[in-house]
Structures are given as C-alpha cells and as structure tokens.
Amino acid sequence: MLDTEMIRRAFWGVAIATSSLFLAQQSNATEAAAGRYIPGAFAGPGAGIVPPIPGGYWAVSNIYYHGEASGDVPFGDGSIALGLKADLWVTGLAGVYVPEIDLPGNWTYAVQGLLPVGWTRAKADVGPLEVIQEVSGIGDVAFAPVVLGWHSDSMETWLSTSLTITAPTGVWTEGDIAFVGLNYWTFTPSVAFTRLVPEHGLDFSGNFGLDINIKNPDTDYYSGVLAHLDLSVTKNVTDNFGLGILAGFLYQIQDDDSTFANNRDDGFKGRSVAIGSLATYKAKFGEGKEINMTLKWAHEIEVENRMKGNAIFFNLAGKF
C-alpha cells in the first residue's frame, strides 16, 4: 500500500515545482534581460516525484520578483536601456493528470499544463528619456506532454524526467520594456530527483533543466540555451509543518545571437547564483481533504548580464 505522506510529497514535486518554471518572465540575460527561469523556482520537497496514484491534481502558484540591471539591456527594436528596474507578479493555474496506464516496474506517466496571468512594471532610461511602463494580461501558456517518474520499492528514492513546451501566447509588444510574454517558443527537457529519509523527516531534492529557445520572429534576436539547477533540503518539524534551505544556479551555455550580443566578447551570456529558505504546511479540511502550501524566498547573491534581485514564491496545491 502506498504511504499517504509520499503522495502528498509527490504532488508538491509535480504541480508546484512545475508551475514555478512557467512563471518566470523577467529575470535572465538573453533578449531584454528576460527569461523563463528564476533561480530557486524548482527548489522544494518532492521535486523528483511523479504521483503514482491516477487522477487529477491542481495548483495555484504565485511569484513576486523585484530586480535591477546595472548594465546595458537590449530591446527588440534596437534600443538600449540603462538602469532597468522591474517588478513582476504572476499567478499560474496548473493542472496535472495521471492516467490509469499500467507501466512496467515502478514507472508513472503524467501530463501537465499551466495558464499564467501576470503584471509587470518596468523603469529604465532609453536614450535621453526615462521610460516607465506597466502591463498586465495572459502570459505564455506551457504544456508538458511527457512526464515520466520512477520510484524505488521502498519509495524513498524518486527520479523523474519531462519535456515542457512554452508557447508565445503572452502580452508582448516590440520595443516595450514591460511585458508578460516573451514572443518565442521554449523547449525545456529536465531531470529531477528526491531522496527521502523518513526516520529523520528529511527530503533532499534537485532539478536540472535546459531552456532551449527559438528565435524571436519579430526582432530576429536569438536567446542562447540556459542551464539551471535547483537544490533543496527540507526537514519536517511536525506532521504538518516543514522548514528548509534552497539554492539556485543559472548558467547560460550558448551565446545570444543579435547585433548587440555579437558586439560583446561574452555573447551576453547570463550567470546567477541564489540562496534562500522555504516553509511548507499542510492545511487539513475534514477527512481526506487538504491543501499543501509552500512559501519560498530566493536572494540572488552573484549575477552577470542579468537582473539581480529577490523572488518570493507562494504555492497552493491539492487533488481533485
């Protein structure tokens, strides 16, 4: 019989961590110093777990990010912004479905998707003018048609792999410094793991992924491939409450391709390291009903060719 605590952790991993990936819209190097990943987004308990119980799961994920860029930032119409500062809030509605498929061994298959709605406020000097813009609307919709998970017989070791496709459905206008979407497709293969130590209430989790972008068709700007790694350690303090630490690492492994990037020795490749903390809580409502909550904070301590700031993540998750 499957341990119910394992199932709770499983949904944290699939719905919450997956949702976080799609919410990041304004933080990396690449075009307009923007990307789909904020360091620490995938950090948290159960990152490598795919729920082994068939059914539908839901999550509401929220991110607030404030960052500032100290150097030049390129925008799609050839403009260069100085002193860019931005605030971002995104709420994502996520769904995960585990069909009743009898796979060999301890394998599980799932599909998942997310619809983000966001708000961005940006301020920068563009030429002789100070520009302040604010925009809100639908973000870039994401869908993962393949999510495969494996667990050991003891259900203490978990592995997963997935492919996420993000479409350019969000609000974006060429030349604007504030936007919700990015106007290009992204393909993100990823692998994740979770190691549970039940006798000590510990969860060791990690997630590694690559963001492979398609050229922006309106600006002809190609944002290079980004690698990112998130790690976390979480300790159960009580049956319902846990505390942990996290770290996030971003490393752009491919140069950008644009007039701006080609004139720089480093290809405008981004780097970032973030550290932070997290807390989890299970709120129970009657027999068999509960909502899992996760609150995370990530602080970027070292950056290059990107915005530097702080991110706060707050996620709610449950089973239909």
Q: How far apart are the C-alpha atoms of 134 and 119, rounded to whole Å?
A: 7
Distances in whole angstroms, Cα of residue 236 to Cα of each of 239, 275, 295? 7, 20, 14
- Tell me the residue range of the domain where 306 lies: 4-319
Residue with tokens 């915005």: 307
Q: How far apart are the C-alpha atoms of 294 and 282, rounded to whole Å?
A: 9
> What CATH number is associated with residue 287?
2.40.160.40
Convert the pLDDT of each residue in 251-292 to its tens digit: 999 988 888 777 777 888 889 999 999 999 999 887 767 888
pLDDT tens for each residue of the chain, 320 residues long: 344 455 555 555 544 444 444 444 444 445 656 678 888 999 999 999 998 889 999 899 999 999 988 777 776 656 777 888 999 999 999 999 999 998 998 999 999 999 999 999 999 888 788 889 999 999 999 999 999 999 999 999 999 999 999 999 999 988 888 889 999 999 999 999 999 999 999 999 999 999 999 999 998 889 899 999 999 999 999 989 999 999 999 999 998 888 877 777 788 888 999 999 999 999 988 776 788 899 999 999 999 888 899 999 999 988 88
Task: Provide the β-strand partners of residue 249.
Answer: 229, 273
Q: What is the Cα Rg of the chain in Å?
A: 19
pTM, to two decimals: 0.89
Q: How far apart are the C-alpha atoms of 41 and 166, rounded to whole Å?
A: 16
Convert the pLDDT of each residue in 66-100 to its tens digit: 998 877 777 665 677 788 899 999 999 999 999 99
Q: Considering its fold, how many domains does the chain have in total?
A: 1
